[in-house]
Amino acid sequence: MTDKRFDVLVVGSGPAGSIAALVLAQGGARVALVDKAAFPRDKACGDLVGPRGVQLLRDLSLDSPDATRVSDMMVVGPTGNRVRLPAPPGRTYPGFGIVERRSSFDATLRHAAIESGAEFFDGRADEPLGDDGRLDGFSLSSKMRIRADVIVGADGATSRVAEVANLVDADRVLWGFAVRTYVDEPTELPHIMFWTPVRGAAFPGYGWVFPAGEGHSNVGLGVGVLADRTAGRRAARDLDAFLEHALRVGVLDHRRPVQPRARPLGAWLKMGVAGTTPARDRVFLVGDAAGLVNPLQGEGIAQAMDSGRAAAVAILGGIELAPDRYRAHLARTQAGYLSTTASIQRSLLHRPRLIAALTRILTAPGVGRTLAGGWSIVWNNLRDGASPSVATGLAATAAGLGHALTARSTDRRWIASHLTDSPQ
């Protein structure tokens, strides 16, 4: 078995891992980038990168030539009422996102990391290496042993790195499961859909119909399961019924049958950073491995790339204080929002009838139009850097109310104790 040593080992070459490897390599670090999958490979995802993610790509001079630009988002209530959430530019981000299939997007970012100097290795991270409780690297399934001074776990919600480093409190994690397919029908705007398959009781999650380019749509269903991961089967089981619902309310064209053009693909989501310590000693978790997924609408790519860059910058600044610098970045950019939304999500998942009532009210024509601007900012976590407006003021009011309602929640206390020195 061959041994190699690097400054940093990045496990996982999705958006978080590839951005971390790219920034580290550009900063002069010797980087090993490892992934168990052969590229290009697919992922269960909505394929949507929000405005903050677009700005990060611009900051790093990364071009995504196959991406389709999208702006406003449509929220569809249980009865088919629609609210168009606007996407105005902010002071620190553009007024649009992009859609690109993960098979293409991830391959582009991985290639950029390798071009910047990261050395790529095929293989699954199997056996941990190290002495006296310190993680020093992994033996790969490809019969290679890779050791490094620093380990970055970018290996998804069920992270092997997080497990080995004991960085997850399984009882606190806010789990979800999502399944998606593609259909042969175009969609102009991204749609997020609330659904009540049982009268008066909402589906405990959300559905989506997003543009996928070339006359296709990405259709999926995500279910929140808290700590009970056996409940994730519901997303796959109910996907066909959700497609029928999308036809009934006119999001998909009811005049022609909808046939999935790809085998449904599923994946776990770890939301709101609850239950996960993002960094300790010389181990860092980024992206889905750190639980950096928006609990309200499932966005994770922008946060993944931002966390990959932040971890890399912290490491390049000196390893002794790097965990503190990385946690401070997450506390500044994510903790306030995620501690509120994770708490709300956990509470609502126990109350399907309340969710049904709230989604009907929020998507009622008069209410939806009044709240749309502020809703868009809150929903997509765009308040920091938003341009001053009535909508921004409404979003600030909503954020204050959310903070007050969740001030004593266990999620807020947990996140504060693991990201900051004092409670939020």
pLDDT tens profile 265-312: 899 999 999 999 999 999 999 999 999 999 998 899 999 999 999 999
Distance CA 53, CA 43 (A): 18
Question: Would the pLDDT of 254 be above 70?
Answer: no
Distance CA 90, CA 125 (A): 40
Q: Give the residue among 240, 253, 231 at the shortest CA–CA distance from 181.
A: 240
Residues 408, 399, 335: CA angle, nearest 5 degrees: 65
Distance CA 209, CA 181 (A): 10
Are 251 and 191 in contact, with CB atoms under 8 Å apart? Answer: yes
Predicted confidence band at 424 (pLDDT cuts at 50, 70, 90)?
very low
- Taking all residues of the chain, what is their mean pLDDT, rounded to a whole number? 92
pTM: 0.94
Distance CA 167, CA 405 (A): 28
Are 152 and 18 in contact, with CB atoms under 8 Å apart? Answer: no
Residue 92, token pair as written in the block: 């620190």
Question: Would the pLDDT of 160 be above 90?
Answer: yes
Tallying the residues shown for the chain, one arrives at 424
124 Cβ contact list (under 8 Å, min separation 6): 36, 140, 141
Predicted confidence band at 64 (pLDDT cuts at 50, 70, 90)?
confident
Give the pLDDT score at 259.
Answer: 61
Long-range residue pairs from 110-114, CB within 8 A, at least 24 positions apart, any chain: 110/13, 110/18, 110/33, 110/35, 110/39, 112/18, 112/22, 112/62, 113/13, 113/18, 113/19, 113/21, 113/22, 113/25, 113/31, 113/33, 114/33
> 382 vs 227, which has greater pLDDT?
382
Distance CA 271, CA 114 (A): 29
CATH code 3.50.50.60 for 2-70+91-172+271-340: yes
Predicted confidence band at 256 (pLDDT cuts at 50, 70, 90)?
low
Give the pLDDT score at 423.
Answer: 35
Q: Note the pLDDT tens digit of each residue in 187-209.
A: 999 999 999 998 889 999 999 99
